[in-house]
Amino acid sequence: MATSHNKIFLAITFLALLGFTACRNKPTEEIPEAFQLSDTMMKRCEFTQAKLSDVKNELKLFGKITADNNKMAHVYPMTGGIVAKVNVELGDYVNQGDLLATLRSSEVADFQRQLLNAKSDVALAEKNLQVAKDLFAGKLNSEKDVMASEKELEKANAELHRIKEVYAIYHLNEGSEYRITAPIAGFIINKDITQNEELRSDRTEEVFSIAQITEVWVLANVSESNISKVALGYEADVQTLSYPDKIFKGKVDKIFNVIDPTTKAMKILVRINNPDLLLKPEMNATVNLKFSENKKMIAVPSSSVIFDKSKNWVMVYKSKSHIETRMVEVYHQLGATTYISSGLDENDQVISKNGLLIYDALND
């Protein structure tokens, strides 16, 4: 029995020694080191301080490019007649005084007759006045007769002056030819005349419209719900289908305080410099108005905001080894700027470039 007990004791002791040896040889678990931003990653990141800023917003409108009606001329024919020749086409540039079209007109021929009659009347009145003065000197008539002759000469000169003014204003020449000329320099934006057409003397529509487009207007519609958001002087970014990558800068110059009964919208006028003549009347345009909401919020670069798990986050940098993943409430984003309603304090430093890499490293 003793021998049997000794064998059991030796077996237990041997197993205990084996267990102890195994425990001594088992490798210990490595404790992971805390996250620290490397110098290489620091160079790839950008950091921006959160600032308290005026909240800006924008309003998107649609409209059309139009010519400035203060720099536009509508050309009407002074008389009827047959169109002998048309010298310009739609879109042509003309200088002031350039010939646009020529008409053959019996009415112009009548002006020629009136001019000749007026000249003849002046010559006759001058002769009658001289005769009256001679008779008065010879005591053969009265001073009243001289004064009457002077009045007749004044009337004849007034009529001659009138008909000469008509010739000067409408650039009339001798004969029956009527020349339609450009009253201002600019582009032909409307043409309603063709060769051999008969123009009525009572026509009320213009035959040409000429506009200077070095400065143009954009007429945009504002819905009733957005009228309160519009004010004079607001900055406007204007884009067109013709130049989708180009932004034209302008300002709200006029607000038409009337609602169009058809569109249920109010119009505003945006004035834009157009020195390269890229913008043409009747182009469709998109207008983005920029305005202040008259309140302040924390603003950060939009590139610093990370959207994940249906929430918005920013990486707040304290030091290389102290970077916080901060949940924030976004008020709204305007281009490269995002306004934060809660979650950030003024002067917090956020990672504004490659923050997503840091976010993934800390939150995987």
CATH number at residue 188: 2.40.50.100
Whole domain around residue 146: which residue ranges? 106-175
What's the rounded mean pLDDT across residues 308-313?
94
Q: Do residue 185 and residue 215 come from a single domain?
A: no
Would you state the pLDDT for residue 34? Answer: 64
Q: Do residue 110 and residue 146 come from a single domain?
A: yes
In a domain, 202, yes or no: yes
In a domain, 29, yes or no: no
pLDDT confidence bin for 352, thresholds 50/70/90: very high
12 vs 268, more confident: 268
Half-sphere exposure in the Cβ direction for 357 (13 Å, CA): 13
In a domain, 122, yes or no: yes
CATH number of the domain that 356 lies in?
A: 2.40.420.20
27 vs 126, more confident: 126
CATH number of the domain that 171 lies in?
A: 1.10.287
At which of 175, 194, 224 does a domain end?
A: 175
Q: Do residue 312 and residue 244 come from a single domain?
A: no
| Statement: residue 11 has pLDDT above 60 | no
pLDDT confidence bin for 307, thresholds 50/70/90: very high
Whether the predicted model's global pTM rises above the 0.75 cut = no
Distance CA 198, CA 104 (A): 10
The answer to whether the beta carbons of residues 123 and 103 sit under 8 Å apart is no
